[in-house]
Structure 1
Amino acid sequence: MERLRGRLLVATPAIEGGPFLRSVVYVLDHDEDGALGVIVNHPLDADVDDVLPAWGSLVNAPVCLFDGGPVAMDSALAVGVLNAPEATPAGWRPMAGRVGLVDLAGPLPDDGQLVGMRVFAGYAGWSAGQLESEIEEGSWVVVDAEEGDLLSPQPEELWRHVLRRQEDDLRLWATLPADPNVN
């Protein structure tokens, strides 16, 4: 299977509950050992300022923590987007294009190094072959990420927005009601 780093996983209606219900996952890493990503459309009620006060000014609106996934929910993971590829902050770990991990234990990035950043509580992880099986069984569709997806100012609308921009029948899923019983 092709490598999915830098692409989006969009939950299909086959996922009927749990942390991945109507989720959009940005894939940070994917190889023969498994995959790692963060759910980019599930903001939490906790502000970054309350948990990491020094970092709040670097986070894009909404300035809150995001539920990154069900793995290691007691840890924080910061994902940033570089302003320019040559402007890498100390502790930067590149992932895909201008997207990378920001070391929260390191110094704050200089002004202008990042277009923006999100802080995630936990992450989504798959062991070798697990994600490929879930895609095959129809739980996920893989689509290209666009520049604004990771830092969307309206993350709650991202699932529908990503589906609407597809050129095939996937667009129709964007019209599914939150509760199919009300259809």
Structure 2
Amino acid sequence: MTSNSYNFLGAEFKNKDVKAGNVLISEPFLNDSNFSRTVVLITEHNEKGSFGLILNRPLNKNLADIVSGFDNVLIPLFTGGPVDLNTLHVIHSIGLEVPGTIQVSENLFWGGDFDYLRTLAESHSLDPQTVKFFIGYSGWMANQLNAEIKAKSWVVTNLKPERIFNLPPEDMWNLCLESLGGKFREWLNFPVDPILN
């Protein structure tokens, strides 16, 4: 492997331009409280901008607390980002059987028919290990995310879908850095507040 290529939880990547399906890991002193020590899945990236969902910011709520029909399955809600906090988003590994879903990468899908997912939940057929729901999202204007990556605010990598759904959110940032190794593992020793360093 070259110096900028890593084996990350089973997925090799090279730190280059981002694309849909990539994961962003924030550098430890990112000067934005919305993204401090976050892991963000990019679901869309093009000339118009980028759309992402924070994977490791759980809310103190479950989906059933805000949406009817999901009482049969315990599904925690996450903060997807600071934009449009009145919107609900979903990623899943169920597949294209969910009408209207968009394939982001292998075994990872974004959006789709909520009524279909509700039907699965009501019939006890929705596995909570295959879905994540988010309030709000993370958005970047055209070229904004690329500029942040060039400024080394983010590390671009991949994460296996099963890890996206199963890694404990409170440990995700740390586990991602540990898997990258090298200088990234050193980030684990950096204090949350750089003034304390």
- Stretch of structure 1 that moved more, 68-77 or 103-112: 103-112
Matched residues in 1 for 2:139 and 2:167: separation? 25
Q: Which runs of no fewer than 5 residues in structure 2 stay unpaired?
A: 1-15
Match among 131, 140, 144 for residue 117 of structure 1? 131
Instruction: Output the TM-score relative to the length of structure 1.
Output: 0.84
More helix by share: 2
SS in 1 for 2:93: strand
Conserved? CA contact 1:3–1:31, under 8 Å: no
**CA RMSD across the alignment:** 2.4
Matched residues in 2 for 1:26 and 1:34: separation? 14
Task: Classify 1:58/1:101 alpha carbon distance in 2 versus 1 (closer, same or farther; 3 Å).
Answer: farther
Match among 112, 132, 138 for residue 152 of structure 2? 138
Equivalent residues in 2 for 1:42-81, closer than 5 Å: 42-55=57-70, 57=72, 63-81=75-93
Task: Classify 1:54/1:10 alpha carbon distance in 2 versus 1 (closer, same or farther; 3 Å).
Answer: same
Shift of 1:17: 3.8
Matched residues in 2 for 1:81 and 1:26: separation? 14
Residue 163 of structure 1 pairs with residue 177 of structure 2: yes
2:99 is aligned to: 90
Q: Which runs of no fewer than 5 residues in structure 1 stay unpaired?
A: none
Matched residues in 1 for 2:17 and 2:152: separation? 17
Residues 79-128 of structure 1: per-residue CA shift (max 9 Å, x gap): 1113xx5x622232222222112335432264379851011001111111
Match among 17, 35, 38 for residue 2 of structure 1? 17
Match among 44, 51, 56 for residue 36 of structure 1? 51
- Stretch of structure 1 that moved more, 15-24 or 87-96: 87-96
Shift of 1:27: 0.9
Matched residues in 2 for 1:52 and 1:116: separation? 18
Matched residues in 1 for 2:177 and 2:111: separation? 29
1:102 is aligned to: 111
Task: Classify 1:104/1:51 alpha carbon distance in 2 versus 1 (closer, same or farther; 3 Å).
Answer: farther
Residues 109-164 of structure 1: per-residue CA shift (max 9 Å, x gap): 64379851011001111111000001111211111212333213510110011010
Matched residues in 2 for 1:112 and 1:64: separation? 13
Instruction: Output the TM-score relative to the length of structure 2.
Output: 0.78
Conserved? CA contact 1:6–1:28, under 8 Å: yes
Match among 172, 176, 181 for residue 186 of structure 2? 172
